[in-house]
Amino acid sequence: MAGGELRLRLLLVGAAVLALTAVAGVGGERAAVPALFVFGDSLIDNGNNNNLASLAKANYFPYGIDFADGPTGRFCNGYTIVDELAELLGLPLVPSYSQASTVQEVLQGVNYASAAAGILDDSGGNFVGRIPFNEQISNFESTVSQIAGAIGAAAASSHLARSIVFVGMGSNDYLNNYLMPNYDTRRRYTPQQFADLLVRQYAGQLARLYRAGARKFVVAGVGAMGCIPSVLAQSVTGQCSPEVDDLVLPFNANLRAMLDGLGAGGLPGARFTYLDNFRVFRAILGNPAAFGFAVVDRGCCGIGRNGGQITCLPFMPPCADRDRYVFWDAYHPTAAVNVIIARQAFHGAADVVAPVNVRQLATL
């Protein structure tokens, strides 16, 4: 077959696949957007660290105990936030970048998230292997080139512009950088100065995603971390740490202001929605019974004080009533919490997700 004929056939096949994925979602229903592309850390990683030389892995039982495919690399017992969001958008669960190889696999989205990753390249270094945000963006750029090569630049541009990009970064820049004694950032920067540093770099990274074709962004703030089991375990009385929570408040404030600026014309044609993870998590901890939870002060799977001194080990038996626990392990929430956060992101009011929720963003 001549080169021109092969190219034409690839374009026609790619266009046909694109047309199908634009309308066919889960169960044959129409998807709200063509694709969901995901960037982040262990809160939403779904397997990108599995084949890395990394200490941050979750591809063993009991991780995934409540997930249909078992242990996949998700740092949870079941769904992550973006798993639930994909279903709400009418999309299949998106594959990890490490497992997606064909155009057909990536057209409805890819998850680039990596446990221990941060906004700063050196965050999470104690876990050795991880894929920092800058490298995740490079992987996205490779995906964009792959899609454009199959269906053409114009069709790829339209596809990306209608898709949703979910970004959740920053936790490791605090937990596994600023708060770690072997990093010098706490000696060099005040909390406000560190927040300024992070958000300056974050703005450039989001602009890079924009230049690659992203237009609809959902950006999650850093959640409340002062009551996670690993922090509770560091207190002899098992108390939450207001100091840890206070650290991330300047970052979240800076992030929201930065997104407002980008959405107001800093990046023409782009739309940014801010998800206030911090507010949702504090609401759950403030009145757990109202959300169906009974245990807020220990991990469902872990060792030591508050189940937070050593995180969930291979084949360690977890708690039986996982839906009643807020925390799955020393650092991560249960699937029940993830589903609540995702539904708040999708349906929530402006006090949680602003200026529009994900359902509204999908229609713009």
Q: What percent of the chain has pLDDT over 70?
A: 92
Cα three-residue angle 262-268-273, rounded to 5 degrees = 45
Which domains are delineated in the chain?
Answer: 3-363 (3.40.50.1110)
Q: Kindly give, in sequence order, each residue whose CB lies less than 8 Å from that of residue 343, ignoring residues fewer than 6 positions away.
A: 84, 88
d(CA 113, CA 359): 22
19 pLDDT above the threshold of 90: no
Instruction: Assess whether the previous peptide bond of 288 is cis (omega < 30° from 0).
Output: no
For 2-16, the DSSP string reads -HHHHHHHHHHHHHH
Catalytic residues: 42, 329, 332
66 pLDDT above the threshold of 50: yes
- Confidence class for position 20, pLDDT limits 50, 70, 90: very low
Encoding tokens for residue 357? 């929720």
17 pLDDT above the threshold of 50: no
In degrees and rounded to multiples of 5, residue 310 shows phi and psi of -130, 130
CA of residue 164 relative to chain centroid, distance: 13
58 pLDDT above the threshold of 90: yes
d(CA 83, CA 108): 13
pLDDT of residue 49: 98
pLDDT of residue 9: 38
Kindly state the DSSP code that residue 313 receives in the 8-state scheme: P
Q: What percent of the chain has pLDDT over 90?
A: 89
pLDDT of residue 238: 85
283 pLDDT above the threshold of 70: yes
pLDDT of residue 178: 98
Q: Kindly give, in sequence order, each residue whose CB lies less than 8 Å from that of residue 28, ignoring residues fewer than 6 positions away.
A: none
pLDDT of residue 1: 44
Q: What does the pLDDT look like over 302-312, one tens digit per residue? A: 999 999 999 99
Q: What does the pLDDT look like over 81-134, one tens digit per residue? A: 999 999 999 999 999 999 998 999 999 999 999 999 999 999 999 999 999 999
d(CA 344, CA 341): 5
Q: Helix 81-88 and helix 335-347: axis angle, to 10°?
A: 40
Q: Name residue 147's amino acid.
A: I
d(CA 346, CA 359): 5
Over residues 60-64, mean pLDDT: 98
- Confidence class for position 291, pLDDT limits 50, 70, 90: very high
pTM over the 0.75 mark: yes
Alpha helices by DSSP H, listed for 152-214, are 153-162, 171-173, 185-188, 191-212
pLDDT of residue 30: 86
Encoding tokens for residue 284? 């759950």
Q: What does the pLDDT look like over 337-360, one tens digit per residue? A: 999 999 999 999 999 999 999 999
pLDDT of residue 143: 97
Quote the mean pLDDT of the chain.
93
In degrees and rounded to multiples of 5, residue 95 shows phi and psi of -75, 155
User: Under DSSP, is residue 68 helix (H, G, I), strand (E, B) or coil?
Assistant: coil
Lowest mean pLDDT among 16-20, 259-263, 287-291: 16-20
Query: Which of 197, 198, 217 minimizes the C-alpha distance to 206?
Result: 217
Over residues 183-199, mean pLDDT: 98
CB distance 220 to 250 below 8 Å: no
3 pLDDT above the threshold of 90: no
Q: Kindly give, in sequence order, each residue whose CB lies less than 8 Å from that of residue 249, ignoring residues fewer than 6 positions away.
A: 278
Query: Which of 178, 280, 164, 304 minimizes the C-alpha distance to 229?
Result: 304
> For the chain, what percentages of helix, strand and coil (3-state, to nearest 5) are there?
45, 10, 40
Q: What does the pLDDT look like over 229-253, one tens digit per residue? A: 999 999 988 899 999 999 999 999 9
pLDDT of residue 25: 54
